[in-house]
Each structure stands twice: as C-alpha cells, then as structure tokens.
Amino acid sequence: MDSLASTPGRPNLILQAPLSGVCVDLSDVPDPVFAQRMVGDGIAIDPTEPLLRAPCAGRITQLHRAHHALTLTHAEGVEVLMHIGLDTVALGGEGFEPLVDEGDEVAVGDPLLRFEPGLLARRARSLICLIVLPQGQSIAAPRAGRVRGGEALCEVRPARPPTRPAEEGGIIWSGIVRVPNPMGLHARPAAALAQQAKALGGGARLRRGRTEVSAESIVGVMSLDVRCGDSVEIGGEDASMVMALAEAIASGLGELEAGGEDVMESLTAEPSLMRRVQSLSGALPGVVASPGLAVGPAYRFKPQRFDIADQGQGVEWELDKLHRALARSRKSLRALIDKLKAGGSQTRAEILIAHETLLEDTALSAEAERQIHQGRSAAAAWHESTTQQAESLARSDNLLLAARAADLRDVRDRVLRRMFGRRAPIKAIPPGSILIAEDIAPSILSALRPGQILGLATTQGGATSHAAIIARGLGLPALCGLPEALLAVHDGETLILDAQRGVVTISPDEATLEALNTRQEAQQCARVAAFNAREGAAITLDGARIWVEANIGAVEEAEEAVRQGAEGVGLMRSEFLYLNQTHAPSEAEQTAQYRAVAQALGATRPLTVRTLDVGGDKPLPYLPLPHEENPALGLRGIRVGLTRPALLRQQVRAILQGVGAGARLMFPMIARVEELRAARALVEEEAASLGVEGVEIGVMIEIPSAAINAAKLARYADFFSIGTNDLSQYTLAIDRGHPQLAAWADGLDPAVLRLIEMTLEGARQRDRRVGVCGGLASDLEAVPLLIGLGVDHLSASLAAVAEIKALVRSLSRARCRALAARALQAESAEDVRALIRAEPSEVSP
C-alpha cells in the first residue's frame, strides 16, 4: 500500500524493491555523485534479474533518451529516480528496452524497463541499480542483504520545506554558456549543478532554447536533454549566483578532469596538424561527394529559422494546425514528385518519395500530438518530435541511417514552412553561385533548376548522403566534410571547388584562375574527343593493350556502359540491385536481372558480377545483421555469404543461370585463403549441378592480407580485381566515409601502391590477370601509375570510361614503369601526385 508522510499522522510511503538482487548502501556505490548523495538519498540494488518494476504507483515523468534512467512520480509528488548501471548513458539506449513511456500511469509492480545484463556487464562500469529521491526526501528502514522484487525496500521520509520560495520576475540571465561535458548534462553533472544551485539558494533557472527548468531540480535539468556543445543559459535574481553557476557549467561541473577545461582548451586551440599539412597550399581539403570542377562566387546557405512559441492556444486548435500543415505539405510534395517523374528525374523523385513516407509516419505525428495534448503549440511539438528523431538517427553508427537525419530535418522544415506561411529558401540563392553550408537538405537540391548553382561545398555530410546522390545525378561538383573555416567565407568571394582533387581554394589569385580556365577548356575538349574515339581499343604508345571496362550497379547502366565504349563490365555491384528492397528477391527474379545485363552487353563484352557485398556501411533492408561495434571489421562482404551459405548459393545459381557459360564471379572482402576455398567450392558445386561451363572465379583484393597472400590466393582464383577504395581504407585504417579523415585515405599512398605491386607479383607466379575496379581506375592521375605497376584491366565509373581509354592511348608503358618505381619510393600520396603532375604529357594527364 502506497502512502505518504508529508501530512502529520500519515504513514511513510513504502517503496517496493523494483527488482531482485542484493541491497547496497548508497555510500558503497562506486560513484561519488551517488555515494555522496549529490543526486539525493536512496538505496542501490545489485540486480539478479533484468526487469525493473514500479516501486510504487505513479506517473512516468521522465524517461531518459538513453533509456537507462527514468523517474516515477507518486501521486503526492515524491519523485523516484531509477538509474540502471554506472556510465550506461554512454550506451545511447543499447541494451535497454523501455516498457513505458513518459506520461504513463503505472501501478506498483508494473514492468518499466528491461535490460540486457550480459551487454551491460561487458560495456558498462557496473550493473548496479540506483533508486534515488532527488527532491530531498530521505529513506528510512532500508532493507539489507538479498531482496526479492516486490518486497518492501525502504520508507520515504518527507523533505524539509525549501529554504527559499521561488520568485517571479526580475530574472537576470547569464547569456549563452556552452556545455563541454562529453555526454551532456546527464545524471552526474545534472546532480552537481542542482547541488550547487541549491547551495547558492537563489532559485536558479536553466534554459535551453525556450524550455526552462529549475536548476535545482536534477530531474528538470536532465529533462532538458542537454548535449555536449549545446548552448544553455542560467538565470536568477542574484547576479553573482548566476555568474558562479554559469562558470561551473562552462567548466564541466567537475566532470572534466581536474583543470580539464583549461588543459583541453590549450590542447585544442592549436589547429590540427593533419589539416595544416593539407592546407599548406592554401586550400581546404574535403571528401568528393560528386566529381567535377567549378569556379564561382560563394553563397552561404543558412537553414531557415522559425520563431516558435512553446505554449499552444488550445489543443483542438493546435491539432488542427498540425494536421492541416501535414496535409498541405504532402500535397505539395506529391506535386513536386510528379513533376520530377514527368521530367525523367527518377532518382530525385525517389528521394522525395522517401520524404513522403516520413510525412506519413504516424510515430512522428503521434509524438507531436502527444506534446500538443500537454499544452504545446503545434510548431513546437512538431519541431521537437522531429528534431529528437533526427538527432538519434544522426548518432547512429550506421552511416546510411545517420545520413537520413538530414532528410528528416528537411521534412520537419517543410511542415514548419507551411505553419508559418514561409517560402522555400531556395528562391534566395543567386544563380551561378557555389553553395556553401554546414549541410544541405535533399529537397533543396532537388528543387534547384538545372544549372542554378555551379557546385556545392559542405562541412558535414558524407559521400553516401542523399544530397551526394542528388549532386551526382545533377552532375553538380560537390565536396563534403570540409573544415569549419569554409563557413567564414563571405558571400561573393571567389571559390575554386575542385571535386577532382578534393579541395576548395578561397579567393584564388589571377594566375591560379587563369591556369584553371586553361585546365577546364582543355578538359572539355579532351572529353569531347575521348567520347568520339570511345569505340577504339586502348593501346599505349608502345603497344601495351589495356582493357577498359565499366562499373555498374543497375540493369539500365549496362546499356550506358556500351554507349560509353566499355569493353565489358569489370564490376557489377550486385548489392545495389537490392539496397532499397524490403523483401528478398527470388532466384528467378535475380536470374532475370543478370540475364538482362548480359544481354544488354552482348556476346563480346564480358560481365563480372561481384557477389553481395553487404554489411558495414551497406545494410540490406531484408537481411537484418546484428549491430556491431566495428562494422567495417565485422560481418561484411563474403563473410555474410559464408555465414549464410543458402543466400550465397541462391545468388551464385542466379548468376550462373542468368549469364551462362563463361560467367565471371568475384568475391568481395576476401581476407583469408580458406574463405576463397569455401566460396570457390560452393560455386563449383552449383556450376556442376547446373551444367554451366567455363566459369571464372575472381577475388577482390581489398584487404592488406589478401594482397600479401596474393600468390597463395592465385592457386584458387582465375583473376584478381583490386578494390582500391577498401584497400586504402584498411591499409591506412581510415574509414572511407569519415567526414574529417576520408580525404587522407588516398589510394596513391605509397603503402597502398606497394600492396598493389605485391598483388601483381603474386598473380604473375600463376599467370593470373589483375584488374583494378576501385576508384583509382577512374582517376586520371592514378592510371599511368597502375599501368606502370603492371595492371592491364581497368574498370572505371561510367562517366570516366571514354576518357580513360583516350588517356591510355597517350601513355608510354615504359615511362609509366619508371614513374611507378619512383612513386613506390615516395613518402606520401601528395608526393606521388606531385611526381605525376611533374611528368611530361605522355605520362601525366
């Protein structure tokens, strides 16, 4: 029976044990914040079961976004904070399954939260469950030793009345303070702030945006969901108290190591040396999202700001406002989709169809409706629910999911524009400019007229974002992951956006501009001449025959490969056929697709199909793979096929039947000889059972171990195809999609070149052919080196095929060999590129 002793004569509220386990005195908890009762008095349980239940009846008033903590408020106002484990906030929700939502009423003993003890034991500092009273009450008659869930745990003694009543009006605000705590204001710093605020006794307030709470309430502070780097303000009637608390927040509330802030500041003030190495030339390095070259005036694109009132004007009115804005947004989006489809812009239309689905997502609107019912305005509720969702997507380890955060923000702003009667910000973009931004919404890019902007440069985003895909579709040069310095550029300042070399030059001098003009004109002429000569063979000046093939990812691209003069397909990324599919394709469906590609290529152009390369940054919606700490080093590529042989077998059968005799299959991410032997045996079995002859089996060389063991792999492989994208990633230990680091994962790094040389040496021992299908094969600067190293098959992106053929015809292999020998001795990719650029024209592009 629950009851509360705040009224004389009433018995104390009894808390039941929310789970079974061993009771621990709070002073013995290995965390000073809890042990010193900064959060409040309470008791801890070392749990022996993974289910947390309500210790008393009440309402769930706070569920932490990381789901490791929640607050239950008893009908008479006692707050009970339950916090599972120590440092579990860092798990970001992993290992926790909330069974209730904020606002739910629960009876004593109702299940609240389930957790995975195994995962917590491995990843958190402790599993201990803390039951704390943050409002100043204390516990009495605490249980000791073993306790079973549902048994009496302790009594709650009322708090002393607050020392000072809160006062209205006359509040002094501190101005913006940035929160430096890596995990934001979670339980520990929130407790420290609340404790200091109480000690100073001035009724301090804390606000983030328009939401304001008492700084003396740990639950209130936690409910603001303040993250690292967020701006907050502290307020109160006493200026010295405001200053003291503002300083405490700015210095990390004791969470950063002693003197941490100063030390960190002095340690982080100096600009990154990695950046500096790249910036010696005065250019900013970025990741190529869409290749090309552009020169023009900068235009800083700023996200739209909306002045959102938090308080609603009545539930019915606000609900109606939300629903009308959603309906009108859907209508305008549909009109835009139809227009794009009619104009043949299928990819852009599909991206907006994904936005349409987000708009129809009832989870988003239901959350907004819930907040409206709590008194918030439609705009505030919609903004909050979509922003929270976008932030949790952005934190995802999965790059593809993280990239969807921009889509969600985009949808959010579309609806807000409807509510505020605003026009799309695109109208303000001066034609002919290079757009610079932190990030750019896919719908903004989709709505641009062809040629409206010359290029795009962003500090965020990755090469896999929808914005990058749209930019590539528009043929718009784009770089992402550029340094923050980009945002200091003024509107109208001239930029060179070099999305071939991956750099932006700000305010170039006349000589640079002139050289660039010449380069652009020469490139344009060369492109036209190359396209006209696309059908001829690619033979070097000294008679070496180089086969130039294409990389494709869709059936329709096979026809384009033929149109571009490709001599076959050196890499069909088969997973691209299924990345957006929610059901597994049948063997017959797959067979039909491979047959269509083979037929489009005709009898004389070979087709090389790579078996599914999923996992890592390429999730397959119909094939759920477990979450991994290190996806790039986990279940990816052939490892998925070998752990799910039925999946690989089905695909192999489809390829063999679709392509027929002479089919070429290759396996991604082979790291060990055993993997190749197992995969090869599977193909041989299926080829024998289907009676398909002349099948060739290849290995993608994209992991250093494969290059080092090339001679051994060559026993079981008919050919090698070097995936320089992954080979660079794994050799240099740089995530190829990393916004800050990817620019350094350059395949021309001498270490990568050395592995390519080793692959060729290994292949030569068994006379196996070696091709390159990674990004280097489409890189005009890299091709002379690859040929010099001995590569004679290049599989390039569709747009590069004709130019690569033309380039080969201008090269002398003997000179390329000499260049390769020098490149192998160079110290860096930059030096290698400098060597190439210094070559006379028959070697240098």
Closest CA to 479 of 494, 491, 493, 467: 467
DSSP 3-state helix, strand, coil percentages of the chain (rounded to 5)? 40, 20, 40
Q: How far is the CB of 745 from Mg ion (least distance, A)?
A: 12
Q: Is 617 in the site for Mg ion (CB under 5 A)?
A: no
Q: Is 774 in the site for ligand PEP (CB under 6 A)?
A: yes
Closest CA to 752 of 709, 700, 708: 708
Residue type, 591: T
Closest CA to 39 of 71, 2, 75: 71
Query: Residues 561, 606: contact at Cβ < 8 Å?
Result: no
Between the two ends of the chain, the Cα-to-Cα distance in Å is 84
Q: Is 726 in the site for ligand PEP (CB under 6 A)?
A: yes
User: What residue ranges in 39-185 does DSSP mark as E strands?
Assistant: 41-47, 51-53, 58-63, 69-73, 79-86, 96-98, 105-106, 111-115, 126-133, 138-140, 146-147, 152-157, 172-173, 177-178
List the interface residues with ligand PEP, window 564-603 (CB under 6 A): 571, 573
> Is 225 or 702 the residue whose CB approaches Mg ion more closely?
702
Which does residue 384 touch among Mg ion, ligand PEP, none (CB within 5 to 8 A, set by kind)? Answer: none
Which does residue 773 touch among Mg ion, ligand PEP, none (CB within 5 to 8 A, set by kind)? Answer: ligand PEP
Q: How far is the CB of 655 from ligand PEP (least distance, A)?
A: 17
> Is 498 or 702 the residue whose CB approaches Mg ion more closely?
702
Residue closest to Mg ion when measured from CB atoms: 726
**Given the rule CB under 6 A, which of 12-20, 225-233, 673-681, 722-730 is the region that contacts ligand PEP?**
722-730
> Is 590 or 608 the residue whose CB approaches ligand PEP more closely?
608
> Out of 285, 606, 723, 737, which residue is the one contacting Mg ion (CB under 5 A)?
723
> Is 15 or 614 the residue whose CB approaches ligand PEP more closely?
614
Length of the chain: 845
Q: Is 498 in the site for Mg ion (CB under 5 A)?
A: no
> Is 71 or 721 the residue whose CB approaches ligand PEP more closely?
721
What are the catalytic residues? 466, 773
Which does residue 573 touch among ligand PEP, Mg ion, none (CB within 5 to 8 A, set by kind)? Answer: ligand PEP
Query: Residues 683, 642: contact at Cβ < 8 Å?
Result: no
> Is 702 or 735 the residue whose CB approaches ligand PEP more closely?
702
Q: How far is the CB of 796 from ligand PEP (least distance, A)?
A: 11
> Is 610 or 813 the residue whose CB approaches ligand PEP more closely?
610
Cβ-based neighbour number of residue 517 at 10 Å: 11
3-state secondary structure 353-396: HHHHHHHCCHHHHHHHHHHHHCCECHHHHHHHHHHHHHHHHHCC
Distance CA 813, CA 787 (A): 7
Which does residue 79 touch among Mg ion, ligand PEP, none (CB within 5 to 8 A, set by kind)? Answer: none
Distance CA 478, CA 481 (A): 10
List of residues 6+ apart from 741 with CB closer than 8 A: 274, 734, 735
Residue type, 329: S
Which does residue 724 touch among Mg ion, ligand PEP, none (CB within 5 to 8 A, set by kind)? Answer: ligand PEP
Q: How far is the CB of 377 from Mg ion (least distance, A)?
A: 48
- Binding marks (x or -) toward ligand PEP, 608..637, rule CB under 6 A? -----x------------------------
Q: Is 705 in the site for ligand PEP (CB under 6 A)?
A: no
Query: Residues 72, 59: contact at Cβ < 8 Å?
Result: yes
Pairing of β 696-701 and β 664-667: parallel
Which does residue 379 touch among Mg ion, ligand PEP, none (CB within 5 to 8 A, set by kind)? Answer: none
**Given the rule CB under 6 A, which of 110-118, 440-448, 717-725, 828-836 is the region that contacts ligand PEP?**
717-725
Residue 497 DSSP class: E
Closest CA to 163 of 200, 132, 133: 200
3 state SS of 623: strand
Q: How far is the CB of 726 from Mg ion (least distance, A)?
A: 4
Distance CA 681, CA 691 (A): 15
Q: Is 724 in the site for ligand PEP (CB under 6 A)?
A: yes
List the interface residues with Mg ion, window 422-441 (CB under 5 A): none
Q: Is 702 in the site for ligand PEP (CB under 6 A)?
A: yes
Q: Is 735 in the site for ligand PEP (CB under 6 A)?
A: no
Q: How far is the CB of 703 from ligand PEP (least distance, A)?
A: 10
Lookup result for tokens 């705040």: 6
3 state SS of 413: helix
Q: Is 252 in the site for ligand PEP (CB under 6 A)?
A: no
> Is 726 or 839 the residue whose CB approaches Mg ion more closely?
726
How many chain residues touch ligand PEP (CB under 6 A)?
10
- Binding marks (x or -) toward Mg ion, 683..722, rule CB under 5 A? -------------------x--------------------
What's the token pair of residue 693? 């002859």
3-state secondary structure 786-802: HHHHCCCEEEECHHHHH
The angle at the Cα of 605, spanning 599 to 610, to the nearest 5 degrees, equals 80
Binding site for ligand PEP (CB under 6 A): 571, 573, 613, 702, 723-726, 773-774
Binding site for Mg ion (CB under 5 A): 702, 723, 726
